[in-house]
Amino acid sequence: MPLGATIRRLRRTRGLSQEELARAARVTREYVTMIERGARRNPSLAILGRVARALGVPVGELLK
C-alpha cells in the first residue's frame, strides 16, 4: 500500500482530521494532504517519525 494511503487509513481509523494529525506531527495540514495524495512521496525520516508518533505506530508500520 502506498505511504499516503497507509497514513490516511491509520488517521481515519483513529478518528483524526488532517488538521489534528498535522498539529500533533508539527507539520501543516497542507503537508498532510500532499503526503496522503502522493504529491509528497519522500518525506524526511524526521517527519515520518513525528507522523508515526502522532498515529501511535512505529515508523515501519507506515512503510508496509
User: Which pLDDT score is estimated for 41?
Assistant: 78
Domain CATH number, residue 20? 1.10.260.40
User: Which pLDDT score is estimated for 61?
Assistant: 96
How many Cα atoms occupy the beta-carbon half-sphere of 24 within 13 Å?
Answer: 16
User: Which pLDDT score is estimated for 56?
Assistant: 98
Domain that holds residue 44: 3-62
Q: Which residue has the cell 507506515?
A: 62
User: Which pLDDT score is estimated for 33?
Assistant: 97
User: Which pLDDT score is estimated for 40?
Assistant: 83
Which cell numbers hold the place of 56? Answer: 501511535
Q: Cα–Cα distances in Å, from 1 out to 26, 62, 64?
A: 24, 9, 7
pLDDT in 10s for each residue of the chain, 64 residues: 899 999 999 999 999 999 999 999 999 999 999 999 999 878 999 999 999 999 999 999 999 8
Tally of structural domains, the chain: 1
Distance, in Å, from the CA atom of 17 to the CA atom of 44, rounded to the nearest integer, reads: 22
Please check whether residue 55 is in contact with residue 14, taking contact to mean a CB–CB distance below 8 angstroms.
yes
